[in-house]
Copies of this chain bind each other. A is one copy, B any other.
């Protein structure tokens, strides 16, 4: 996330992007509250008001960072799933994928607390129902989509209550999201890596057992 450098011209040439990079850096360092318009401008070497040529204000800058952070989160989940062995065994594949995605989610939160918090700062787009709208869905909540699809695949094997599916996905999301926040920001933030692992695994067990029930 190094700012794109340009000559010392009056016109920057790529200010919008440079500001986004600076803002992402800020969020990475200290979370959404540290995303400050003036500071981003300072880092890029431009006057504070220049940012207004490219963003509606701090709010839009922050929303842009949020989008970036959500993409990173989803990417981390997919990386974790891809890294997962055992995708060959079709019997276990579904469950392994779910747990891998969840580990990727929590792992991202723990390793990038600032970005993770930024991913859920200002209220973004909301869903009307946690249902399995497959086709497009907003790319915004990609993390949820990944999780939901994996859970459907898992439930598809067993015989789960039909109406319970989307709610189950929401429950799983709740678990990993809540766990992440407790670990990053909350009362569990001081857990040793080992204990943290134990809690993560317990949560995953809960999610999987819940998927079987739901």
Contacts and interface: CB of A to CB of B under 8 A. Distances in A.
A201 B214 CA distance: 10
Given A175-B174, A209-B210, A130 B199 contact: yes
Nearest to A141: B187
Interface in A170-203: 170-182, 185-192, 195, 198-199, 201-203
Contacts of A210: 202-203, 205-207, 209-210
A175 B126 contact: no
When all copies of this chain in the complex are counted, the total is 2
A181 B120 CA distance: 10
Question: Which of A185, A203, A213 counts the most B-chain CB atoms under 10 A from its CB?
Answer: A203
A90 interface: no
A18 to B, nearest CB: 28
A84 to B, nearest CB: 21
B130 A170 contact: no
Contacts of A180: 178
Contacts of A206: 168, 171-172, 175, 206-207, 209-211, 213-214
Interface string A119-161: 0100111111110000000001100100000000000000000
Interface of A: 120, 123-130, 140-141, 144, 163-164, 167-168, 170-182, 185-192, 195, 198-199, 201-203, 205-207, 209-214
Given A129-B195, A140-B187, A174-B199, 6 more contacts: A170-B179, A171-B175, A171-B205, A174-B178, A177-B182, A202-B210
